[in-house]
Amino acid sequence: MTLHSTPPSGRNVGRGEAAAYVGFALIALHVLDDNFFEPQPGTSAGQHLVSGLVPVAVLALIVAAYRRVSAGARASLAIVTGAFGIVMGAGEAVYYSLKLGPSDDDYTGLLAFAAGWLLVGIGVVILWQTRRRGPTLARRLARRSLLAIAAE
């Protein structure tokens, strides 16, 4: 006797999606840490309301939409957010960690840097897995060659 269980409504979260959510969360953690938990000396968390809440709100919208959009849009969201995480992490955390050693919000910045690369990798994998499988290589090259000759 075999038991068949029906999956819950909606899609199951796969490993790639779970990793993407972890990447989004790490980037949001660094934004919150940099703006509210450990603001720059001489400033208060209240002075960072816009620069802290807007990126977190955008990340929340991306997370909310991530499962509902097509594969190409998911890949784009992952790559763009990943680039954002790389820039945030490399801009301050990597630089100061190499010069002075990590301190304060550099730890979450290094996590955001790694999460950015993770998201870029996930986006590339999504694009690779969902690519169209067209005609053979010889047929594609012949078609492109004919188009190049016709264009001249």
Residues (pLDDT < 70) of the chain are: 1-13, 45, 132, 134, 152
- Which tokens go with 132? 């169209």
The pLDDT of residue 144: 76
Domain annotation covers residue 19: yes
Could you give the CA distance from residue 5 to residue 120 in angstroms, rounded to a whole number? Answer: 34
Could you give the CA distance from residue 42 to residue 46 in angstroms, rounded to a whole number? Answer: 12
Domain annotation covers residue 8: no
Could you give the CA distance from residue 26 to residue 82 in angstroms, rounded to a whole number? Answer: 11
Could you give the CA distance from residue 128 to residue 147 in angstroms, rounded to a whole number? Answer: 25
Question: CB-based contacts of 140: which residues, under 8 Å, 6+ apart?
Answer: 134
Domain annotation covers residue 59: yes
The pLDDT of residue 9: 45
Domain annotation covers residue 135: yes
What total number of domains does the chain contain? 1
Could you give the CA distance from residue 55 to residue 49 in angstroms, rounded to a whole number? Answer: 10
Domain annotation covers residue 29: yes
Helix (H, G, I), strand (E, B) or coil at 8: coil
The pLDDT of residue 65: 93
Which residue segment(s) compose the domain that 114 sits in?
15-151
